[in-house]
């Protein structure tokens, strides 16, 4: 077990553009294992996690949804249906913050699996949302960047209040 601390807003690694994985070696395999262990280490269990969230700036995401755990390396997304849907999202890196985010509802995922094989998969609804959220992390984007300016300001305010309440409890 290698539980890694989940990085939260303010940590610069969350704002970096992650680099592609050149070779799927033991380092990448142990990174994925760490991500699998750490997905439960946040303030609540996550449905997905991106490598930067445990401090590693590499293009690797994991999805823990609908009873299955899967890792995707160098994931790329193509939007198949641009009609979007609003749905509430949260993020392990933004503890206790939730808001509705508009995202395209159908995407095509191209990625490598842990064994090096290529995968192409269509995803809709919740799965499409998780993939978009996690791939955003690899580009240094958070869900608060996907809402309008006013909502973002409100969320940031709410977040700083949550943080100071947390400090008072310590
Ligand atoms: Zn997230």
Label residue 63 left, alpha or beta by phi (over 0 means left) and psi (-120 to 50 means alpha): beta
Q: Ligand 1 centre from 119 Cα, in Å?
A: 23
Give per-residue pLDDT as tens, 67-83. 889 999 999 999 999 88
- Please report the domains of the chain, with CATH numbers, ordered by start residue: 12-169 (3.90.45.10)
Among residues 78, 100, 134, 158, the one annotated as catalytic is 134
Question: In b/e form, how buried is each residue of 69-100, taking b as 16+ CB within 10 angstroms?
Answer: ebbbbbbebeeeeeeebeeebbbbbbbebebe
9-63 pLDDT, tens digit each: 999 999 999 999 999 999 999 999 999 999 988 778 889 999 999 999 999 999 9
Catalytic-residue membership of 134: yes
- The residues with which 71 forms a beta bridge, in sequence order, are 62
Tokens read off for 122: 């269509």
């Amino acid at each position: 077990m290698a539980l890694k601390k989940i990085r939260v807003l303010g940590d610069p690694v969350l704002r970096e553009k992650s680099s592609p994985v050149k070779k799927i070696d033991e380092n990448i395999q142990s990174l994925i294992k760490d991500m699998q262990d750490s997905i439960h280490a946040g303030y609540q269990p996550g449905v997905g996690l991106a490598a930067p969230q445990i401090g590693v700036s590499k293009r690797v995401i994991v999805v823990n949804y609908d009873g299955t755990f899967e890792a995707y390396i160098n994931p790329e997304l193509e939007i198949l249906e641009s009609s979007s849907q609003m749905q509430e999202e949260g993020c392990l890196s933004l503890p206790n913050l939730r808001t509705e985010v508009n995202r395209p509802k159908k995407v095509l995922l191209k990625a490598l699996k842990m064994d090096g094989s290529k995968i192409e998969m269509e995803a809709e609804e919740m799965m499409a949302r998780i993939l978009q959220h996690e791939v955003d992390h690899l580009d240094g984007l958070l869900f608060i960047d996907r809402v309008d300016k006013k909502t973002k300001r409100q969320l940031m305010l709410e977040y700083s209040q949550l943080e100071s309440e947390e400090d008072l409890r310590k």
